Chains A and B, each alone.
Chain A
């Protein structure tokens, strides 16, 4: 056995190191699990059209009997929009643009059945669209227009109309394959387009077309680009913020209350994860503290041996190394076991996730591994430096 190690392992306190090991393991596991859980739930928010991603509020003016009678506009004026945008709780704001041309759409399901209806389009800036699809764009001149429908429409058809008329039920997939015939008219022009349903949105309760198409079509068929928006979409940083409710009440604006509740849940979930991770971090810091105390005590108890080793020609680095390797080894073991524990726990909850959200894509474990590795590196560097400086204090020996 290495003689230096034989000397320096004297006075190693097993209970102290076990204490450090367990404490650090708990801390590290909590941190890694917290990050992984956060990553995994984040992936649920980002899963197409998730109910959880709801830091968006759609705001409109209250429509009362009085507005109907007096014909008072329900549109937002520019100062109103700017005022809302300048509020602290607002991260981003987008306006709904409505079509100012006529739209007529028809759909043929089979030989006998076809629908045809007057309708309208709306658009919001692309970053607010919750359906992520590569088809969500429009190139000028193209005769194909992507459309996003509210999920409610599909439910209304499937569980209302189709049920009562004994019609076939339609899945999202089938509908995406069906093309709609769309007729746009205005300014003396009339053109036919092919509409393609690229997704269904729970967030945006309207018939959406891409913003670029809307801007172009409004200009082309109605000679106007803008019309005061009647609805606004707002991304807020904290949906539980009371100022939102107050602001909306003061200005007689309305928003979907369910969304606000879902937002609160999301927000709470994030806070809980953050708290849990903070607790893990505190435990880890305390564990690190225990380790440093143990090592200091060990160096102190073995200071005569260390001094004699230095005096017979051992360098401070060489003398520090056994303790440095000991702490690095312990840290590494903690990292590995914490990772294994995290994966075991994750397997349990991922099964639940996957049963709740079938098209949920399993996210990578890299963020947790990287955080764990970063923590390992930082703690180990601190250990290495602290041990070396402790040995150097023996070398320098205060006379």
Chain B
């Protein structure tokens, strides 16, 4: 996948809003590979909706979303499964980790599906992010900041053309935010992938190619 295009896309709930001030909704926006985007938003402007639409999780929008010119509304189940395994990675704001599993198991359950990273690489990431000692702790017993880092590692355990990170550092200190930024960018560069970071205030300090106001 080379580009993601939003063509006059608008969440249905905003249909009645007359003075919508946005550089994304109702516009034509294209995200390209190997570029870094920041989507800034205020609460309630549809940031998580945007991620859900692009990930094929929700369909309550008007307009079109195109992957390389193909309307995603017509994608089959098996195509979405393939995209989610090989082209598109998403770090959900609400993380979507499994509280019954340990931190490591939460990563392994994804990596087993894609066989993308080595066990050693995963352990190195845990170490870099300062949660190596929490590897075998149940997710339910970890702080949200720790969970965010586990979710990031999981998001990196697959090949991708684009990675969406929805408020990845909302609960992290500056040092950890920096490490998350470095990790994310080095993995994205290695794969030549496009990165879309969303934020409602605090955001990772990176050299963004484009900043969009949602």
Contact = CB atoms under 8 A, between A and B. Distances in A.
A14 interface: no
Please name the 6 residue pairs, one residue from A and one from B, whose CB atoms are nearest each other, closest first: A313-B84, A313-B85, A315-B81, A3-B109, A399-B60, A308-B96
Interface of B: 55, 57-60, 77-78, 81, 84-85, 90, 92, 96-98, 100-101, 105, 108-110, 112-114, 154, 158
Contacts of B101: 3, 6-7
Contacts of B98: 7, 305, 308
Contacts of A10: 100
A3 B81 contact: no
Contacts of A312: 84, 96, 109-110, 113, 154
Interface in A311-328: 311-316
Contact of B113 (A6, A7, A313, A395): A313
B109 A315 contact: no
A365 interface: no
A91 B91 CA distance: 75
Nearest to B58: A399
- How many chain A residues sit at the interface, stated as a range, is 10 to 19
A395 B77 contact: yes
Given A305-B98, A316-B77, A311 B112 contact: no
16 contacts: A3-B105, A3-B108, A3-B112, A6-B101, A7-B100, A305-B98, A308-B98, A309-B109, A311-B90, A312-B84, A312-B96, A312-B113, A312-B154, A313-B114, A314-B81, A315-B81
Contact of A397 (B58, B97, B100, B109): B58
Interface in A267-320: 305, 308-309, 311-316
Contacts of B114: 313
A241 to B, nearest CB: 58
Contacts of A309: 109
Contacts of A7: 98, 100-101, 109
Q: Quick one: which of A3, A6, A309 has the most chain B CB within 10 A?
A: A3
Given A7-B101, A313-B85, A392-B77, 10 more contacts: A3-B108, A3-B109, A305-B98, A309-B109, A311-B55, A311-B90, A311-B96, A312-B109, A395-B77, A397-B58
B166 to A, nearest CB: 13
Contacts of B85: 313
Nearest to A395: B77
Contact of A311 (B57, B59, B60, B77): B57
Contacts of A399: 58-60
B112 to A, nearest CB: 7
Nearest to A314: B113
Nearest to B157: A312
Contacts of A4: 109
Dominant secondary structure at the A interface? helix
A85 B31 CA distance: 86
A10 to B, nearest CB: 6
A313 B81 CA distance: 5
B158 to A, nearest CB: 7
Contacts of B108: 3
A171 to B, nearest CB: 75
A362 B101 CA distance: 57
Nearest to B55: A311
Nearest to B88: A313
A7 B98 CA distance: 8
Nearest to A9: B100
Interface string A120-149: 000000000000000000000000000000
Nearest to A316: B77
Contacts of A311: 55, 57, 84, 90, 92, 96
A10 B58 CA distance: 26
Contacts of A305: 98
A397 B58 CA distance: 8
A275 B41 CA distance: 70
Interface in A60-117: none
B140 to A, nearest CB: 12
Contacts of B113: 312-314
Nearest to B90: A311
A2 to B, nearest CB: 9
B77 A313 contact: no
A4 B109 CA distance: 7
Nearest to B155: A312
Nearest to B105: A3
A49 B98 CA distance: 71
Given A311-B55, A313-B114, A6 B100 contact: yes
A316 B80 CA distance: 11
A315 B84 CA distance: 10
A154 B194 CA distance: 101
A7 B96 CA distance: 13
Most buried by A among B58, B85, B101, B113: B113
